[in-house]
Structure 1
């Protein structure tokens, strides 16, 4: 997610009265594919606040088994409370495995509620480019502290990258600082594959370098024929239509300890709900 410092307000968006047929059967995973495909709900950031239950019902029908939430205007649980959200997820046959959130505000409460409903992760989605490498070192220590709070509650803490941490700064990659100065017993990482590629880096090389540290990933494809540039606008496209070789990368990710595979759609070629539907059809058929 890019610069998610505050929730994007509803603007326009899709009228949710459209009827979409279930594609769950068509997306039934086969051996060697993703057993439980997840969706980052930020993909439907404009539609979700209008009708959370209706949107989530469609997501389930598309063959998603897991969801990763984020903090919108009504918090991580979209006005249902943590127990109400879990109850609704259960009724749809889905599970909330993680959420992006602000770890600097009411984090003890967030960790306790997440643990109470069986979530696995709370995740920092964005810290922004820092002025000095020492600033990244200070953030690594903050991650350790947040990780300790999560561990106390029986869940895990993780950091989700953008391109800036995979871009050289004063001869060093900030991502290396995060990896090396966080306690592996407290902090995991969510690799946003799109942003690693956008930074001109090889996701597989990083997965191998830090085996077992990247436990979640964002699957987000990138427009073909456009060279990565610093500060580029988001060029995400429907998974399977872009330039990223997910068959190869996800196979390596599985070998290197990846556990959660989560779709994130940030830019749209058609209605957002249709984009995530097509993402699910492609990925639930992909073998690797």
Structure 2
């Protein structure tokens, strides 16, 4: 089953089912829920095997998570090129590494340098937030604000709506202000009961229709991420898939 509009799934959502023997069946199951894209979180271990499994499942990987801080940029770009991935996103940094302006400047420099190399190969570099970029203040403002002010426009943003709210952000203010720098969204509607972090800002997970409308046509791909630690993740994935298919195809 396919949707009329692209809809992605971060494969970390089903990480417990992605082993060498389970990858193909896991991807096929996700495609059966209507996802058109898969966002891998490991493109370095076995890019050939991953590419084959994606093709067999009929899924496209337009984006992937791979940290330019933790891995050699050339290795990341080689794997992305082999897989046809157009955007490689640094998904996480140590919160302590951006606790002051010098740390944020080092991160921005790493992302900008990687983007320069990537652009020459037709690939984009991106950054994905968690909560701490908004909760931690640098020079009196959220570290995320400092970081985005230092990033080259070539570095795109994948805004995680849930984590931004947990960090204290108002995504309905943030999205219009960032404008077309936000090219990708991490979204979730239904989360695992009892496994939620307190939302200090605006909880937009129940208002995802408003979020997608506000983000507008500049958003290339909404990517569902569902994390479950204490229950079977598949029912959550299936219900989130149905919910977001209804939104993107409305």
The normalised TM-score by structure 1 is 0.75
Tell whether 2:146 aligns with 1:174: no
Tell whether 2:47 aligns with 1:82: yes
| Consecutive aligned runs of 4 or more in structure 1 exceeding 3 Å deviation | 221-227
> Map of 1:1-288 to 2, 5 A cutoff?
24=1, 28-29=3-4, 35-49=5-19, 51-71=22-42, 76=43, 81-103=46-68, 104-129=70-95, 130-169=98-137, 170-185=139-154, 187-221=155-189, 227-228=198-199, 243-255=205-217, 257-267=218-228, 270-286=231-247
Instruction: Quote the residue 1:11 is aligned against.
Output: none
CA contact (8 A) 2:27 2:59 kept: no
Alpha-carbon distance change, 121 to 109 in structure 1, aligned in 2, over 3 angstroms: same
Gaps of 5+ in 2: none
User: What RMSD, in angstroms, separates the aligned Cα atoms of the two structures?
Assistant: 2.6
CA contact (8 A) 1:38 1:65 kept: yes
Number of aligned residues: 240
Residue 51 of structure 1 and its aligned partner are, at CA, apart by 0.7
Determine helix, strand or coil for the equivalent of 2:125: strand
Alpha-carbon distance change, 55 to 212 in structure 1, aligned in 2, over 3 angstroms: same
Counterpart-to-counterpart distance in 2, 1:280 and 1:263: 8
The normalised TM-score by structure 2 is 0.86
After superposition, give the CA deviation of every residue in 1:61-85 in whole Å (9 maximum; x if it has no partner).
11100010012xxxx26x6x43443
Counterpart-to-counterpart distance in 2, 1:268 and 1:184: 36
CA contact (8 A) 1:269 1:275 kept: no
Residue 244 of structure 1 and its aligned partner are, at CA, apart by 2.9
Counterpart-to-counterpart distance in 2, 1:227 and 1:162: 13
Counterpart-to-counterpart distance in 1, 2:197 and 2:221: 28
Determine helix, strand or coil for the equivalent of 2:105: helix
Determine helix, strand or coil for the equivalent of 1:64: coil
Counterpart-to-counterpart distance in 2, 1:148 and 1:86: 25
Gaps of 5+ in 1: 1-23, 30-34, 231-235, 237-241
